[in-house]
Amino acid sequence: MQTITIYAIITKNLKLRNMPMRKIDKLLEKMKSDMPDMEMLREAPVKLGRQYHYASLPLCIICAVFSIGSKYPAELVAVDSYCDAVEYERRGWERFCDDGKSISRDRQQSVSQMLEIFDVALDNAKSFEDISKELFSSTQRVSQQDDIFCAEAVYRFALALVQIRVEYIGDVGNCQLSYIRKRELERFIRQIPGQEDGVSLNYLYMLLGNEWHVKPDMPLLDYMLEAGFEINRENPCEADNIFHRVYEKIGKDYPFATPRAIYQLIWCYKNGI
């Protein structure tokens, strides 16, 4: 079954690479009509929300996990609650950094340091429901199917990163992971209940500065359906590939129209922002 699934995904991705350019042209026409702000991508990068400026990898993990199946800004509230609960700044950790800049590792919380906070709570016989309330002021679960709490998904996400020796933003941000380690991380993450589709992982890469991914959430999927594209949410590469084709088409005239930038414009458009 797994072999058949992998074959189907590869086949579909090849079809996307060979899709008629007229479909890409139709999508571009729709985007230009719906989003006049797209013109600014000729001269400057898109303005990103504060979630793209978190200074530590654990905050990006929390944001990526809590963003799934919730209404914005639930993920930002979860991050703020965590920082307040663990007295983030008092421990010497920075919450934000300037766009395009990084801060020294001694001012970042490492993934292992976040796991230590979880482990202390678990050693004191706290349940993940207790941890959800105490650290995140939330009992949000990863899906409506009564899966695990998002707090547990954050914990397992962090364990997966430590397994491939990733602790800081610089270890994984902006395409630092090798192909093999990236595939290994994807395998670990897809084993977490509610994370089988890999959407949170795609979003994590975006939060860490990778311009070549999109987050196939409902706003994007709805917009793509309107444009004549049916995207399989469980294969985020489908959406990535479409927007890679868009960039190949217009990148010369719109050098800042990366997949992440276009996703941000579509997300704002669909949410009336």
pLDDT in tens, 27-82: 999 999 999 999 999 999 999 999 999 999 999 999 999 998 888 899 999 999 99
- Asked if pLDDT for residue 175 goes beyond 80, the answer is no
The pTM of the full predicted model, rounded to 2 decimals, is: 0.89
- Report which secondary-structure segment, H or E, holds 77: helix 74-85
CA distance 182 to 177: 6
Rounded mean pLDDT, 19-24 = 80
83/7: higher pLDDT: 83
Structure confidence at residue 8 (pLDDT): 42
Within 10 angstroms of residue 41's Cβ, the number of other Cβ atoms is 21
What's the chain's average pLDDT?
88
Joined tokens for residue 218: 């409902």
Structure confidence at residue 258 (pLDDT): 96
The answer to whether residues 216 and 231 touch, using CB atoms and an 8 Å cutoff, is yes
Rounded mean pLDDT, 175-201 = 88
101/4: higher pLDDT: 101
Structure confidence at residue 101 (pLDDT): 67
Q: Taking the domains of the chain in order of start, what are their residue ranges?
A: 19-48+213-270, 50-207
Rounded mean pLDDT, 175-184 = 82
DSSP 8-state code for residue 168: S
CA distance 133 to 137: 4
- Asked if pLDDT for residue 266 goes beyond 80, the answer is yes
Q: Which residues pair with 96 in a beta bridge?
A: 54
Joined tokens for residue 134: 């105490």
| φ and ψ of 73, to 5 deg | -105, 45
Percent of the chain with pLDDT over 90: 71
- Asked if pLDDT for residue 12 goes beyond 60, the answer is no
pLDDT category, 230, cuts 50, 70, 90? confident
Helix (H, G, I), strand (E, B) or coil at 222: helix
pLDDT category, 21, cuts 50, 70, 90? confident
